[in-house]
Chains A and B, each alone.
Chain A
């Protein structure tokens, strides 16, 4: 029985208004949930409400719109990979203003109310603009989050010479490269001692830093912006702390995200920073679920409450939520706070689990060569793998994620983990 065959029957006269399932938010978590529902419930209508004007797309690809390497049409979600379910109604420019969990209705801005049997809150997160930076409303200041942002940035590039990126996170790095490819000069202003401070420690990042330097990116660490200078043409410069000014025509802010929970204020849904989910992705009110950046879930190694802003995690949690909504009780195994894989300036890297080890008692092994770097982190007694960073050579990274996530007993394979020679044959032949 192939998945493609059970994706709903066409021409069932099911209308949107009768949607059994409503999904608020049309990105990773929302669409993953929608398709997961369809896999298990061939008939129930699904309506996805997204406030963006664009139909669902692969958000991580938007830097390519900035660089001009891809067009918006190349990023459409529907029809790709697992997103092949039928009869999933998507309404764009449909911002949900409030939810009534007793009446089981949502109120859509500029439209009416919609009734639901089960609802998923997957509104994701929005960029955080630090209020202490003045002048962020000027033309030419961006936070790259949506296709709309990407289009605007791409346009601004035409009249720009130098762009300043505030923040050394992954998204800003990708945006920086996109701008470099358009021929702009780019400077990264990073408050931490090194780039990617959320994903690894400063000494882990040296190979990446070298690659960035080679690629022509200017980087200032230990530095922050105080205010943005502009005139009627838009941004003209940035003032820095500890001092100095830089002239530029574009500023890109990558200082983290905040969950989009405002629409739930006044409802009975429990919020604690984000929307609180139990192990089965359900909220405290009946028939309500949550997934993705907006949700508060837990970290599998420590059990701590955690919120993440990662596509992979959102898809995973969204799928789980979708299954639960379709009546199949599925526990969510938790999400790593750090689970990133990408290629920065031809340098592939993977970072997962607990990688910040300063001031902790973890058992750590590092190995560096000219071309590669790895760090594996074990718990203090050395019996469990809790984190790993691989740069340059990312062979079999998936196996390490599995080992971390499942908290596998690793004594028989510890040396392979440390030597980065672990392979699936070890699992198949009963080493673990």
Chain B
């Protein structure tokens, strides 16, 4: 029936179909409704040729030769305007990731000083390894002493003016040398972002290529800087992930438990919520109010963090955040920063759900603000969980509808875990690549976007890759999509080509390896660097490729930039706002190859996108002679 077609074509996830129908019944607006109301979206914005950087404007360049303005009031051409807009997106994304890393460094610092409200150093081995990278003495010192020095050193990376960002040196020497020769070896994390803002001010940098290079520089300071810091320090504080089983999708919400959803990005908050939910007093309280216990589940990247480390189930990815509230079964949605829709506040008011914001940086309409601080972390977390538990009695049974869909998954594949699964060295992996059992490695990542059928872009692309013996590493919302659609079970190896199937069966791993949250793409970089070093080549010589089939955020732009800057060909599922400039488009899709050894491609059809990646890997294999 045509009526259901409208819902069916929005997603491949059956839980989403159910909840969209429910939303219609209850007359509730979702992100898909707002997207439809926005159509047609302004073509100037779509092309990237709208500039609001000064008050002589706002300016827009006409895409048609014979009509309309060809230059902004200051004289900027479409090429300049598009380049400026693009690197401001990188600045936004890099800032988000780097602030996340900064918060982790701050938490480590407090913990080392004994002021952390409940944090501990869980992975001492990793602490020492990282200290080693910074040249910090570890022999005979307590972990607090080492952590103090490390935290200070890492904290210092942010405000650095000269020098280099330590973790960039993990990349192969050839790669670092290339960055240096291009002048894009970052000097400090915040500095490069600030310089983007300066350069894009009116009347500063008006050379599209020069602008793009600064964008790449700031992105490298994100990928090999802020993001890596976030990943590594999270491992130190909360444990490096090891393989663990869990479940994902809306069905993980529990009819007779207190349901708490953590949403946002930083494990600094979510780890504490998880810990607080295990507090015996609070569990007893939950039973007193008539529940059978407390059920914590995650959405988006913070969900990825706690599933990787504790097997806490994931409710869904980016586009499902409103649908989770619409189940009517959520006592509290606790959020910190990034990817949280401001529509959640008004939506929660239609249910008993408490929408709780915790970060002074991120306040929302209709949210109850319970400000989180690391110094009092565990206590505040307990307070928040208590608010959730007490809210259970206000749940309205008639308004509850929890879809049954939930899928088992095996997650927790940090770089260390992968090496361990391989038996302690990368050799089995390298051999498999050389033999062709594994054609190559793909990193498929990124958000959801209503412009692409929800999860279809992700899953169709991944399926096509594994069919062709490409080992898929994944993070973020793509990882959640793959988990929901059953690709993270060892049994999913059946859907892989013979070569990959064999490897998976031998190692007892799925063909799609969950490597964590979006900042954990740094784990993928680490693996690529290690493989490149082992083979004695640069990352750009490897049969690897990246893809973001349903991306939407500025963080994704920064990620794309640093992945390509590291020499990895990347396919994007939605068009970034660059087509208004021939120069910028050509640089990104062609010219970048000469400069950084990799390019972008745009392909909304995920099967075609996968084939581009496979063709690329074949080419690289040929060049390597394997």
Contacts and interface: CB of A to CB of B under 8 A. Distances in A.
A162 to B, nearest CB: 40
Contacts of B27: 369-370
B6 interface: yes
Nearest to A411: B2
Contacts of A419: 6
A83 interface: no
Contacts of A369: 27
Interface in B1-48: 2-3, 5-6, 27
Lowest 7 A-B CB distances belong to which pairs? A415-B2, A414-B2, A418-B2, A369-B27, A415-B6, A418-B3, A365-B3
Contacts of A414: 2
A413 B3 CA distance: 12
Contacts of A365: 3
Nearest to B24: A367
Interface string A340-375: 000000000000000000000000010001100000
A370 B27 CA distance: 9
A414 B2 CA distance: 7
Contacts of A415: 2, 5-6
A388 to B, nearest CB: 15
Most buried by A among B2, B5, B6: B2
A229 B26 CA distance: 51
A415 B27 CA distance: 19
A370 to B, nearest CB: 8
B25 to A, nearest CB: 11
Contacts of B5: 415
A104 B3 CA distance: 59
Interface residues of A, number: 7
8 contacts: A365-B3, A369-B27, A370-B27, A414-B2, A415-B5, A418-B2, A418-B3, A419-B6
Chain B, interface SS category: helix
Interface in A372-421: 414-415, 418-419
Given A415-B5, A419-B6, 7 more contacts: A365-B3, A370-B27, A414-B2, A415-B2, A415-B6, A418-B2, A418-B3
A418 B5 CA distance: 11
A419 B27 CA distance: 14
Contacts of A418: 2-3
B17 to A, nearest CB: 16
Bin chain B's interface residue count.
under 10
Nearest to A369: B27
Nearest to A365: B3
A429 B2 CA distance: 21
A370 B26 CA distance: 11
A393 to B, nearest CB: 14
A27 to B, nearest CB: 42
B350 to A, nearest CB: 14
A414 B3 CA distance: 9
Contacts of A370: 27
A112 to B, nearest CB: 64
Interface in B462-496: none
Interface in B212-240: none
Contacts of B6: 415, 419
Nearest to B6: A415
Contacts of B3: 365, 418
Interface in B362-408: none
Contacts of B2: 414-415, 418
A145 B535 CA distance: 96
Interface string A266-304: 000000000000000000000000000000000000000
A82 to B, nearest CB: 36
B204 to A, nearest CB: 42
A400 B3 CA distance: 18
A168 to B, nearest CB: 29
A366 to B, nearest CB: 10
A248 B2 CA distance: 52
A176 B3 CA distance: 39
A369 B6 CA distance: 18
A172 to B, nearest CB: 33
B29 to A, nearest CB: 12
Nearest to A419: B6
B592 to A, nearest CB: 36
A195 B2 CA distance: 31
Interface in A100-139: none
A3 B27 CA distance: 50
A415 to B, nearest CB: 5
A369 B25 CA distance: 10
B527 to A, nearest CB: 45
Interface in A59-77: none
B7 to A, nearest CB: 11
Nearest to A415: B2
A414 B6 CA distance: 11
A411 to B, nearest CB: 9
B171 to A, nearest CB: 50
A365 B4 CA distance: 12
A373 to B, nearest CB: 13
A418 B4 CA distance: 11
A414 B5 CA distance: 11
Nearest to B5: A415
A378 to B, nearest CB: 10
B2 to A, nearest CB: 5
Interface string B435-457: 00000000000000000000000
A419 B2 CA distance: 10
Interface string B301-317: 00000000000000000
A419 B6 CA distance: 9
B588 to A, nearest CB: 31
B3 to A, nearest CB: 6
A369 B24 CA distance: 10
Nearest to A370: B27
B20 to A, nearest CB: 13
A60 to B, nearest CB: 35
B80 to A, nearest CB: 34
A365 B1 CA distance: 10
B22 to A, nearest CB: 15
Interface in A140-170: none
Looking at B3, B5, B6, B27, the one whose CB has the most chain A CB atoms below 10 A away is B3
B23 to A, nearest CB: 13
A415 B4 CA distance: 10
A415 B1 CA distance: 9
A330 B6 CA distance: 42
A418 to B, nearest CB: 6
B460 to A, nearest CB: 23
A365 B6 CA distance: 14
A199 to B, nearest CB: 25
B309 to A, nearest CB: 44
B285 to A, nearest CB: 39
A415 B5 CA distance: 8
A365 B3 CA distance: 8
A212 B5 CA distance: 37
B191 to A, nearest CB: 49
Interface in A301-349: none
A365 B2 CA distance: 10
Nearest to A421: B36
A380 to B, nearest CB: 14
A419 B3 CA distance: 8
A415 B10 CA distance: 14
A419 B5 CA distance: 12
A419 B36 CA distance: 12
Nearest to A368: B27
B28 to A, nearest CB: 11
